Amino acid sequence: METTVADLKRGQKGIIKEFTENLLPIKLLELGCLPGNVIELVQVAPLKDPIYINVNGSHIAIRRSMAEQIALDIVEEEDVVL
Amino acid sequence: MSKQINVALIGNPNTGKTSVFNQLTGLNQKVGNYPGITVEKKEGICKLPRGVKAHIIDLPGTYSLNTTSLDESVAVELLLNKNDKDHPDVALVVSDVENLKRNLLLFTQIKDLKIPAILVINMADRMSRKGISIDIELLEKKLNAKVALVSTRKGTGIDRLKELIADYKNISKVPNVDTTAIAPDYFERLKNAFPKEDVYKLWLVITQDVNFMPIQKNLIPDTSSFATKSKSELKRLQQKETILRYQFINGILKETYKVDVNAAKGFRATLDKILTHKIFGYLIFFVILLTIFQAIYGWSEYPMDLIDGFFASATEWVKETLPPGVFTNLIAEGILAGIGGIVIFIPQIAFLFLFISLLEESGYMSRVVFLMDKIMRPFGLSGKSVVPLISGTACAIPAVMATRTIENWKERLITILVTPFTTCSARLPVYLIIIALVIPEGNVLGLSFKALTLMLLYLLGFGVAILSAMVLNKILKIKSRTFFVIELPNYKLPLFKNVAYTVLEKTKSFVFGAGKIILAISIILWFLGSNGHSDDFKNAETIVTKRIEAEGFNTFSESYIENKIAEYKATLPIMGLHESDPAYQDSIALHTVVLEERALNQEIASYKLKHSYMGIMGRAIEPVVRPLGYDWKIGIAVLTSFAAREVFVGTLATIYSVGNDEEETIKHRMAAEVNPITKEPLFNLASGISLLLFYAFAMQCMSTLAIVKRETNSWKWPAGQLVFMSLFAYIVALIAYQLLK
């Protein structure tokens, strides 16, 4: 299984690798959700879904199902500039 | 004629675009609709230096020129169509300091259209707090464009912005990015096929995912000649285009935009943690809702009583001052009574819009969406349905339009169908007056019973909306992909000016929109109520006088006289008269004569009303409404309410003032009505609850039906709403009355 945005823990960051399906809405890309960009999990809603991410400086909420389509490499260190 | 230029304001949602608009235009603005569609069109006039005047349009917020909704396509349509009378001479792209990167995406697209563009960076007052510094000069050079740094909160930078607009002819129109680089072959072919057209414009028209409007498709005579690209290929190209633009933008921002990460966090993160907390989040949301209802009921009672009293004395004044006749009666009994019935609700409606606009402006509303999404999904709704459901408490019309942000068609349709169950401001007048009449005084936990009843009615509206959503979710077989993307904007202290404009604008449109209907209905009702063709109507005076001579007053009049005499007796000792004085009996006798005369007139008036055209109609429908505990007068009011609910109070006010000789407030008149069968007050707990429930559920709003038709593009859905909701309302009201009576 590939690591996706849905696997991030709160406060954890990752770099977007690719989209596992070609179904992501263009709006998400325009908000800065593009391969190579850093994505941070800011907050998880009380019932675990949706999740609240910061990507490219955009603070957005997406559903878990969509997050599972965004593959990434988790970044461990702190000094990533968004 | 002085020169006027067209200016379009465009930008992402939540950038303070509307604040810039308000700063530029002040009160010189008007809100209307784009022809044929229900997208709100805000325009205004701004005076620029050197005698230039600017006509400014505030376009719907959009993240890019790739449209996904009707609102966005309005913006794109205007930018593409050079023949539109509003086509901008210059575009102001509004960005906030924190999301400059994302906003520049839109900026580069607009530059590609070769429209002179000014980048307006708003919220400059936040820069130091967020640790942001921008090299404006370098940014202007790199973008080959003009940049204005403004703060609408502090009012800085606006003058320079006006200078820049006036000087629009000197703005470079050279694009920043070469879009054709993503697929040179393809664009080459496109260019050859339409040598006269701009390639980027063609590209935009081809890629639009818009099924809402005939957007410029006619610009391309034959799409098939270059339909070599499949839909998924086009999507991949769009993706490439976005990446290309971001490469350009990142390159520029690296040199011009610095942010100290440590300064940026803190406040927002803390607030987010609390407001989306699994317990506090919901608790805070609930307390906010509670406060709103307490405010609507408690705080607005005082101004409402004042307005009610004012209209009662105005009516009296008209009757005393103007010469008696049909015209005076029309003003006093038809027009004034009708208008009074609507003006009285201004305080509440203003409060409601005040709270809703505060929630929207502060950024809290999108946290609610985040909190509620998972909870709403089992009901076939989305977190985004919460916004229509909440703004439905103001009015279902903007609420139905607000569903456009819901990406999934099934979720959107269900939201549209159930939104009219939420308690809109038009129900408020009905609720308030009936609650005031039938719910007893008293408190529990600092909340009055009346406020609690109101709150329960709101909860009931939500509850039924959600339950019907669940049923619809099971019934409707619609397959559509789920997208859910919502921005969680930074928290902002709401700008007083923005909130004030919203409250003013919405209240005004409520009063005038509803006022027109109410006025028309009031006049018609007055005519029907004060005219009749039967002998009973024409000879009312003789018939009633004879009957009273033979049988005495009816029980209502008797108790009326008794009560008034008792009241009068109580005042006599204060005036120095005591039972032993001979003058005491005399003045009581005198007063009795006056009261009897009044009672006679009232009986004549109500006899006349009963045999007027309206009385005949009312009694025809009475069998239908009697099981619900209503008399024919309420029946008429319920019937006219199918035009718009708020007509109810105005209608009753008109009916009672026609059938009543004494000028009193609406509330008193309603309290004095007696049920002809039970001889008890007509508005008691049973009939009151029955009415409240009927109004809670019935689909009594033609405007909502019209908007649902427009948004769903079919008569099927609004027709279903009308039948189902009204039938449901009737049954529930029937059960309630039969159980409580």
Q: For residues B206 and A61, which has the higher predicted lDDT (pLDDT)?
A: A61
Position of tokens 């449901």? Answer: B728
For chain B, which residues make up each domain, given as ranges? 1-260, 280-475, 504-740
A40: closest CA of chain B, how far (Å): 13
Q: What CATH number is attached to the domain comprising A44?
A: 2.30.30.90
Query: Per-residue pLDDT for B338 more than 50?
Result: yes
Is position A66 within any domain? yes
Query: What's the rounded mean pLDDT across residues A61-80?
Result: 82
Is position A35 within any domain? yes
Is position A82 within any domain? no
Highest mean pLDDT among B18-32, B33-47, B105-119: B105-119
How far the first Cα of chain A sits from its last, in Å, is 27
Contacts of A28 in chain B (CB under 8 A): 485
A68: closest CA of chain B, how far (Å): 13
Is position A80 within any domain? no
Query: Which residue, B650, B684, B432, B664, is CA-closest to B560?
Result: B664
Q: For residues B145 and B526, which has the higher predicted lDDT (pLDDT)?
A: B145
Is position A71 within any domain? yes
Residue B295 gets which letter from DSSP? I
| Each residue's pLDDT tens digit, B232-252 | 777 788 888 888 898 899 888
Query: Per-residue pLDDT for B212 more than 60?
Result: no
Q: For residues B290 and B660, which has the higher predicted lDDT (pLDDT)?
A: B290
Looking at the partner chain, which of B98, B235, B282 has a beta carbon nearest the beta carbon of A57? B98
CA dist B42 → B22, B60, B92, B213, B635 (Å): 10, 9, 15, 20, 41
Contacts of A26 in chain B (CB under 8 A): 64, 66, 68, 209, 235, 238-239, 242
Probe site for chain B from A23, A27, A68 (most B CB atoms < 10 A): A27
Is position A48 within any domain? yes
| Each residue's pLDDT tens digit, B445-472 | 777 888 888 889 988 998 999 999 999 9
B254 touches chain A (CB under 8 A): no
pLDDT above 70 coverage of chain B, percent: 90
Is position A81 within any domain? no
Q: For residues B211 and B496, which has the higher predicted lDDT (pLDDT)?
A: B496
Q: How confident is the model at residue B93 (pLDDT cuts 50, 70, 90)?
A: very high
Contacts of A42 in chain B (CB under 8 A): 269, 272
The single-letter code of the amino acid at B380 is G
pLDDT of the residue at B536:
85
Of A54-58, A72-76, B223-227, B669-673, which range is least confident? B223-227
Query: Per-residue pLDDT for B678 more than 80?
Result: no
* Mean pLDDT value across chain B: 82
pLDDT of the residue at B215:
41
For chain B, positions 533-592, list CB contacts with chain A under 8 A: none
B684 touches chain A (CB under 8 A): no
CB contact under 8 A, A31 and B481: no
pLDDT of the residue at B346:
80
Looking at the partner chain, which of B63, B232, B482 has a beta carbon nearest the beta carbon of A63? B482
- Expressed as residue numbers, the domain containing A55 is 5-75
Query: What's the rounded mean pLDDT across residues B602-622?
Result: 85
Q: Spell out the alpha helix ranges (H) of B626-715.
A: 632-640, 647-658, 666-672, 685-697, 702-712
pLDDT above 90 coverage of chain B, percent: 15
Query: Per-residue pLDDT for B591 more than 60?
Result: yes
B102 touches chain A (CB under 8 A): yes
**Separation CA B241–CA B224 (nearest Å):** 23
**Separation CA B654–CA B332 (nearest Å):** 9
Sequential DSSP letters for B296-340: IIIITHHHHHHHHHHHHHHHHHHHHHSPSSHHHHIIIIIIIHHHH
B102: closest CA of chain A, how far (Å): 6
Query: What's the rounded mean pLDDT across residues B259-264?
Result: 66
Q: How many CB pairs under 8 A join A and B?
A: 113
Is position A18 within any domain? yes
Q: How confident is the model at residue B211 (pLDDT cuts 50, 70, 90)?
A: very low
B482 touches chain A (CB under 8 A): yes
Q: How confident is the model at residue B532 (pLDDT cuts 50, 70, 90)?
A: confident
Query: Per-residue pLDDT for B481 more than 90?
Result: no
Q: How many domains does chain A have?
A: 1
B354: closest CA of chain A, how far (Å): 26
Query: Which residue, B67, B130, B30, is CA-closest to B501?
Result: B30
CB contact under 8 A, A66 and B370: no
Of B222-226, B451-455, B606-610, B666-670, which range is least confident? B222-226
Q: How confident is the model at residue B214 (pLDDT cuts 50, 70, 90)?
A: very low
CB contact under 8 A, B484 and A23: no
A1: closest CA of chain B, how far (Å): 23
Q: Angle B280-294/B449-475 helices, nearest 10 degrees?
A: 120
**Separation CA B634–CA B667 (nearest Å):** 14
Under CATH, to which class is B1-260 assigned? alpha beta
For chain B, positions 402-421, list CB contacts with chain A under 8 A: 407
pLDDT of the residue at B153:
85
Contacts of A29 in chain B (CB under 8 A): 238-239, 242
Contacts of B235 in chain A (CB under 8 A): 22, 26
Q: For residues B630 and B223, which has the higher predicted lDDT (pLDDT)?
A: B630
Query: Which residue, A25, A43, A19, A46, is CA-closest to B406?
Result: A25
pLDDT of the residue at A79:
52
| Each residue's pLDDT tens digit, A23-56 | 677 888 888 888 888 899 988 988 888 999 998 8
| Each residue's pLDDT tens digit, B179-194 | 888 888 888 887 887 7
pLDDT of the residue at B2:
52
Query: Per-residue pLDDT for B425 more than 80?
Result: no
A63: closest CA of chain B, how far (Å): 6
Query: Per-residue pLDDT for B719 more than 90?
Result: yes
A55: closest CA of chain B, how far (Å): 11
Residue B681 gets which letter from DSSP? B
Looking at the partner chain, which of B101, B383, B407 has a beta carbon nearest the beta carbon of A32? B101
Query: What's the rounded mean pLDDT across residues B716-723?
Result: 92
Position of tokens 């008036």? Answer: B605
Q: For residues B692 and B346, which has the higher predicted lDDT (pLDDT)?
A: B692
Q: For residues B288 and B673, which has the higher predicted lDDT (pLDDT)?
A: B288
Query: Per-residue pLDDT for B216 more than 50?
Result: no
